Structure 1
Amino acid sequence: MGRLTSFVRGFSGTTTTSAVIITVGGLMLFLAVHGGIRGTARVQLAEVAILLIAAVVLAAMVLRRFDWDPSRLLDAAAAGSGLGDALLGPG
C-alpha cells in the first residue's frame, strides 16, 4: 500500500518512497494495536472504497474528454501509440 500511495501522490526517489512505506506501515500498526484486527479490516475496506471511487472518477474524466465515446478514446490511443491499429488487435 505504501508504494501505491507513493505512486498516486507523485512521489519519486527511494528515500521518499521508503518514508511513505514506513508511514503507512506505522499507521496500520497503530490501528492494529488500538483497533484490533477489526479496525485494520475496516481501514483496508475504506482504502478499497476510496481507490474504487478514484478509479471511477478518473475513468469518467477520461471519457468526458472524448465526449463519452469509448471508440474515440481507443482511436486516440491507437493513433498516439505509434502502433496504429495493431494496438487494438489481439495478442
Structure 2
Amino acid sequence: MSVSSLLRLLPLHRQYVRWFEVLHPLHPLRFKDEVFHIQRHIKTVGDSMSSKMQDLQSTANDVGNVAGKSLANQLQLLDGQSKVMVGQSNLYNFQA
C-alpha cells in the first residue's frame, strides 16, 4: 500500500478511532493493537520507499557515470577528427 493510499485512509481511521472510543470503551487493548498494526504498516511502507529511493539513486549515479564516459569519448572523437582535418588540409596544401 502506498503512502498516498495511507493518507487517504487517515480520515477513515480517525472516524474508526472515534467510533471505537464511543462504542468500545471497555476494550482499550483492541485499540492499542490496531494502532500498533497501523504504525507497523507505516514503518514497512517507509522502509520500502527508502530502499526503492536508494536503488533509484544508485541507478541515477550509474546513468551519470555512463553519460560522463560518453561525453569524454565524444570529446576524444572530436579531437581525433580535428587532427584528421588538419592533416588533410596539410596534405592538400602540400600537393597544391
TM-score by length of 1: 0.46
Which structure: greater helix fraction? 2
Alignment TM-score, normalising by the size of structure 2? 0.44
**Which structure has the larger Rg?**
2
Structure ranking higher on relative contact order (CA contacts 8 Å, 6+ apart):
2
